[in-house]
Chains A and B, each alone.
Chain A
Amino acid sequence: ELKVEQNPLFLSMQEGKNYTIYCNYSTTSDRLYWYRQDPGKSLESLFVLLSNGAVKQEGRLMASLDTKARLSTLHITAAVHDLSATYFCAGRRTGTASKLTFGTGTRLQVTL
């Protein structure tokens, strides 16, 4: 059974600072997703990571995947207030088309 753990659960950071959100998963997952959710809104897809060593970047966010360590990271560079949201990682259970297991989410608050 695939389990996904994120930490921290809550992160308060100042604008301009860097930080990393960690996502560990318990067993083989053939891809790793990152989603963003704004308060009262639905989930928006950020990244899909498919293979060991995969790195994707968009703006101030960079996601990476280490399948050997069963770890994905979401790195935030020079945070801005607009990045305040809850971020979820999710693993796809191998051989079970499309069924994702989500982490509990990291609520990011960027203060001015």
Chain B
Amino acid sequence: DVKVTQSSRYLVKRTGEKVFLECVQDMDHENMFWYRQDPGLGLRLIYFSYDVKMKEKGDIPEGYSVSREKKERFSLILESASTNQTSMYLCASSLEAGQREKLFFGSGTQLSVL
């Protein structure tokens, strides 16, 4: 089974802190994603990476950056955390496999910024 592991289930940080959210997948997938999930808004794409060191902005990249130094690991960075970044963060990965492609999600990190 594909496993997408997010390093923390719950995280509490203070405004202005630099925050790192880590995600690791074990299936050699090319594509990795960071979404945030907020009630009433569904999931929104923050950043996307289709290869090592390659990244693309999603729909809401402001206030975030990402790093993908190794294929299996995709990190989301909040340069200076703010209260409006309190949210559930979901990492996902996929193998571009034509019609069979689908996203596999991690269990999420609930981030609270105080």
Contacts and interface: CB of A to CB of B under 8 A. Distances in A.
Interface of A: 4, 9, 33, 41-45, 48, 50, 88, 90, 97-105
Contacts of B104: 45
Contacts, number: 57
A99 B48 contact: yes
Interface string B70-110: 00000000000000000000101010100111111111100
Nearest to A44: B105
Interface of B: 31, 33, 35, 40-45, 48, 50, 56, 58-59, 90, 92, 94, 96, 99-108
Which of A44, A48, A100, A101: most chain B Cβ within 10 A? A100
Contacts of A41: 107
13 contacts: A4-B42, A9-B40, A41-B107, A44-B105, A45-B102, A45-B104, A48-B99, A98-B33, A98-B48, A98-B94, A99-B33, A99-B45, A99-B56
B42 A98 contact: no
Contacts of B92: 43
Given A43-B92, A43-B105, 14 more contacts: A33-B102, A42-B105, A42-B106, A42-B107, A45-B103, A88-B42, A97-B96, A98-B33, A99-B33, A99-B45, A99-B56, A101-B45, A102-B35, A104-B40
